[in-house]
Structure 1
């Protein structure tokens, strides 16, 4: 075990693991933010029953939530990688599909996945807002924009945080799936290190600890945000 840890340290794998963890966090943050935007737009469309957008959103969420996440990544990557390789080569950027493009596809794929689940979280949060509050505001002549900013949005955020927390935790774990497209994130680095040093237990244990740290730290931040919003709600009363 000591020899294995020495191999990890002297082989420069600690730096590689940290870089992989950075890619994982960047990928997770980009995907959850874009997914939240997608979820807000789609969830609002479902809440308002905007036809035909409601139908399109239902098709999107049903497809994405009805197939394995890994299959979504495979379909998006292998359906476009050849085309993008030709475009990159035409402009003198050969090999682009194996580097930056892998990150772009990973963000798009995980955004699509997190967006589908965020849609239902946002829709549920909006439906939890008492309609009487909105009707009363309209009766007082308050503009639609102000109703959204002062009544709908604050309550939606407070109600949606627990559900979005679950989406975030799932998103971080889904980043491990993009190792199949060659992106050097945490799981990919652990896989390569395990194969190179023949110390799979050590590398996968390190990956386990790093993933756990990421989720625990982010959980603490989300708990703080939720408590802060709850405190503002009590102060407003």
Structure 2
């Protein structure tokens, strides 16, 4: 099998610049979705841990829905449903169409909301891993709820949550490929275009796989490095789950 490596070069006929731009779009969508998932996941975790009865039920229902509905269907709902919502409010305000929703916005929001359901579980597990004695000692010293959260809960929970967050980040990167259905020119969309244009589908889909592997491998290195730094000098101690026995 002869491979024309110039197809992924940076010359006039090479797809190198387009593939790099698509990889950047993939990374941007993933980062945005992961940030949305982390913020909303933190809120869901708080609702499940310290919220009222209806807040716990609401958070639990959210997790059930977004874990049970396929990711692709959620993206379609946000993309096409978003158009309907924007069109409704646009016409109500007297604007004239056409009305559209960015594939980037719809995709990042949909994946972020899906990720939030899983990240809330990671954060909740990390909270229950904090030793009870640590929290009790902080309360005895007179720490208020806000200071306790900022100085004790967040730093310790994040150390425990890092491995799970790394797994969620990898999932978000792979789920970002589904955003191609909105027409956004990310990695999967770009390699599909290139393979159709050059009649080299195997070659370009293999290149796409390599691009995803590079992103996920570098990400894994970053998270492993962060874990080593965060866990440096940390002593083993009884956890909340263990204390409940």
If the length of structure 1 is used for normalisation, what is the TM-score?
0.89
Partner of 2:103: 102
2-structure distance, mates of 1:5, 1:93:
45
- The answer as to 2:87 corresponding to 1:65 is no
Partner of 1:129: 130
Are the equivalent residues in 2 in contact too, given 1:5–1:202 (CA < 8 A)? Answer: no
- 1:127 offset after TM fit, Å? 1.1
Map 1:173-212; keep pairs closer than 5 Å. 173-212=174-213
Larger helix percent: 1
RMSD: 2.1
2-structure distance, mates of 1:221, 1:95:
40
SS of the aligned residue for 1:6 comes to helix
Partner of 1:32: 34
Are the equivalent residues in 1 in contact too, given 2:83–2:99 (CA < 8 A)? Answer: no
1-structure distance, mates of 2:139, 2:126:
20
- 1:136 offset after TM fit, Å? 2.5
Are the equivalent residues in 2 in contact too, given 1:129–1:155 (CA < 8 A)? Answer: yes
- 1:209 offset after TM fit, Å? 0.7
For structure 2, which runs of at least 5 residues remain unmatched after alignment? 236-245
Identify the match of residue 58 of structure 2 among 56, 59, 66.
56
Per-residue CA distance 1:65-93 (angstroms, 9 max, x = gap): 012111111111121224436739x7577
For structure 1, which runs of at least 5 residues remain unmatched after alignment? none
Partner of 1:5: 5
2-structure distance, mates of 1:92, 1:103:
23
- 1:178 offset after TM fit, Å? 0.7
If the length of structure 2 is used for normalisation, what is the TM-score?
0.86
Map 1:87-236; keep pairs closer than 5 Å. 87=90, 94=98, 96-97=100-101, 101-231=102-232, 233=234
2-structure distance, mates of 1:216, 1:3:
25
Per-residue CA distance 1:171-190 (angstroms, 9 max, x = gap): 00000001011111001101
1-structure distance, mates of 2:142, 2:172:
41
Count of matched residue positions in the alignment of Structure 1 and Structure 2: 230
